[in-house]
Amino acid sequence: MSKPADTLPARLSSLPEPADEQTHTDAEFLKALGARVRELRERRGMTRKLVAREAQVSERHLAHLETGDGNVSIVLLRHIAQALGVSLVELLTSEVEDSVERRLIRRFLERLPQHRLEEVIFRLMRDFGHDEAVRRKRVALLGLRGAGKSTLGAMLAAELGVPFIELDKVIVSDTGMPISEIFSLYGQAGYRRIEKQTLERVMRDHTEGVISVGGGIVARPDTYDFLLSSCFTVWVKAQPEEHMARVIAQGDMRPMAGNDEAMEDLRRILEAREPLYSRADHTIDTSGETVDMSFSRLKQLVTS
Ligand SMILES: Nc1ncnc2c1ncn2[C@@H]1O[C@H](COP(=O)(O)OP(=O)(O)O)[C@@H](O)[C@H]1O
Ligand SMILES: O=C(O)C1=C[C@@H](OP(=O)(O)O)[C@@H](O)[C@H](O)C1
Ligand SMILES: [Mg+2]
């Protein structure tokens, strides 16, 4: 049998009835939601009229929502979130629950134009995706054929006492096919797919090492971003004429030799890839240098 209210201790009798309490919290929630919608709208410099039009709600309805007087449907709320360029979750999460840092980061990102976001992702992945110390334990050499990746990479790995991994050799051994056959069977896209999977596995298996990757790895942004964020990367560079001379000197007469246009093609490829290769942590230009000279510079770069 329950006690009459007037016999309850004062502390308990002053508490609101559960139903009243619920109404109160609901009202608070709607008020906070309204304030958040308004704040986001104002931060974007959008008028109520504009948001209402884009979200396909009446201006009156939106005004009610903003003052905490309207209980909007979830579907309309989704439209409003879209008009404001945020997710439903973001709309529902009160910023008060966020740290100052998160709030600042979010505001900073909101102001950045869409085309800069890719660069932000890359930088975040590179600088924070892996512990910087861990990343520096894996050195990746990239650049066009004949740059000296295999030559310098083997020397560096021996010097550091870590494994030397040539990504194309791993692919050949995994597939049991020479590179040329993989290209002719699966095309460039197929090769790049295998290359991506192989790189991911190599990264899982090796926390340290020197890795030499094929010049064309930059063709797939996701693979390249992954490489940049997982390794300390060095672009091994040379003049187009030297690339050509070295490859021919190795006896490899494939695509470049015996063709008047080959030199021109090589220049074009190098030029087109320059902005991509430049994203590496460092560049060493080996033009006009002996192997030993380039190696001592590479060693200094990696060990300093
Ligand atoms: N400064 C230099 N640095 C690296 N390699 C050089 C240099 N000068 C000449 N070479 C020669 O160039 C060739 C580079 O070939 P390789 O290491 O197979 O390049 P990649 O693996 O980048 O295709 C080697 O034969 C090497 O001896
Ligand atoms: O551009 C590429 O992806 C490739 C370059 C070559 O490597 P090197 O640059 O070591 O010669 C070799 O791995 C393969 O033909 C794929
Ligand atoms: Mg090589």
Whose CA is closest to 140, among 221, 197, 225? 225
pLDDT at residue 254 in the model = 61
Indicate whether 255 pLDDT > 80. Answer: no
Average of pLDDT values for 267-273?
A: 91
Residue where one domain finishes, among candidates 93, 111, 129: 111
The pLDDT-based confidence of 3 (bands split at 50, 70, 90) is very low
Task: Note whether 189 and 226 are same-domain residues.
Answer: yes
Task: Note whether 21 and 60 are same-domain residues.
Answer: yes
- Domain region containing 171: 120-303
The count of structural domains within the chain is 2
At 7, is the secondary structure helix, strand, or coil? helix
Please tell me the distance from the alpha carbon of residue 162 to that of residue 156, in angstroms, as a whole number: 9
Whose CA is closest to 281, among 104, 160, 126, 149? 126
Please tell me the distance from the alpha carbon of residue 99 to that of residue 213, in angstroms, as a whole number: 41
Between the CA of 145 and the centroid of ligand 2 the distance, in Å, is: 6
The pLDDT-based confidence of 98 (bands split at 50, 70, 90) is low
Bridging pattern class, strands 138-142 and 232-237:
parallel
For residue range 40-72, list pLDDT tens digits in order: 899 888 999 999 999 999 999 999 999 998 788
Answer yes or no: is the C-beta of 142 below 6 A from any ligand 1 atom: no
| 147 belongs to an annotated ligand binding site | yes
Q: Which ligand is nearest to the CA of 198?
A: 2
Indicate whether 256 pLDDT > 60. Answer: no
Do the domain assignments include residue 31? yes
pLDDT at residue 125 in the model = 76
Over pLDDT 70: what percentage of the chain?
Answer: 87
Instruction: List 284's β-bridge partners, or say none.
Output: 236
Would you tell me how many other CB atoms lie within 10 Å of the CB of residue 44?
15
Q: Which helix (H) or strand (E) holds 274?
A: helix 262-277
One-letter amino acid of 67:
T
Over pLDDT 90: what percentage of the chain?
Answer: 57
For residue range 184-212, list pLDDT tens digits in order: 999 999 999 999 999 999 999 999 999 99
Between the CA of 149 and the centroid of ligand 1 the distance, in Å, is: 7
Average of pLDDT values for 117-128?
A: 81
Task: Note whether 37 and 173 are same-domain residues.
Answer: no
Q: Which ligand is nearest to the CA of 218?
A: 2
| 161 belongs to an annotated ligand binding site | no
Answer yes or no: is the C-beta of 234 below 6 A from any ligand 1 atom: no
Return the biggest CA–CA distance within the chain: 105
CATH number for the domain that contains residue 107:
1.10.260.40
Give, using CA atoms, the residue closest to atom 5 of ligand 1: 148
Q: DSSP readout, 14-31?
A: TSPPHHHHHHHHHHHHHH
* Residue 179: DSSP 8-state: H
Report the pocket of ligand 2 as residue ranges, CB < 6 Å: 145, 149-150, 168, 179, 212, 214-217
Task: Note whether 106 and 136 are same-domain residues.
Answer: no
Tokens of 150: 């295999």
Check residues 89 and 21 and name the one with the higher pLDDT. Answer: 89
Task: Note whether 30 and 57 are same-domain residues.
Answer: yes
Dihedral over Cα of 67, 68, 72, 75: its sign? positive
For residue range 128-180, list pLDDT tens digits in order: 766 777 888 999 999 999 999 999 999 999 999 999 999 999 999 999 999 99
Q: Which ligand is nearest to the CA of 224?
A: 2
Do the domain assignments include residue 219? yes
Answer yes or no: is the C-beta of 141 below 6 A from any ligand 1 atom: no
| 168 belongs to an annotated ligand binding site | yes
Please tell me the distance from the alpha carbon of residue 230 to that of residue 242, in angstroms, as a whole number: 29
b/e sequence 149-184, b meaning 16+ C-beta within 10 Å: bbbbbebbbeebebebbbbbebbeeebebeeeebee
Task: Note whether 139 and 106 are same-domain residues.
Answer: no
Give the atom of ligand 1 at the shortest distance from the alpha carbon of 290: 1
Do the domain assignments include residue 10? no
Side-chain-facing half-sphere of 227: CA atoms under 13 Å: 33
The pLDDT-based confidence of 6 (bands split at 50, 70, 90) is very low
Indicate whether 20 pLDDT > 90. Answer: no
Tell me which of 228-232, 238-242, 251-255, 296-300 is least confident. 251-255
| 229 belongs to an annotated ligand binding site | no
Check residues 147 and 256 and name the one with the higher pLDDT. Answer: 147
Please tell me the distance from the alpha carbon of residue 249 to that of residue 231, in angstroms, as a whole number: 30
Mutation pick for ligand 2 pocket among 150, 165, 168, 212 (CB with most ligand atoms within 8 Å): 168
Tell me which of 18-32, 54-68, 274-288 is least confident. 18-32
Task: Note whether 96 and 181 are same-domain residues.
Answer: no
Tell me which of 5-19, 133-147, 196-210, 258-272 is least confident. 5-19
CATH number for the domain that contains residue 176:
3.40.50.300
| 106 belongs to an annotated ligand binding site | no
Q: Which helix (H) or strand (E) holds 51?
A: helix 48-55
pLDDT at residue 70 in the model = 79
- Are the beta carbons of 232 and 136 closer than 8 angstroms? yes
Indicate whether 11 pLDDT > 50. Answer: no
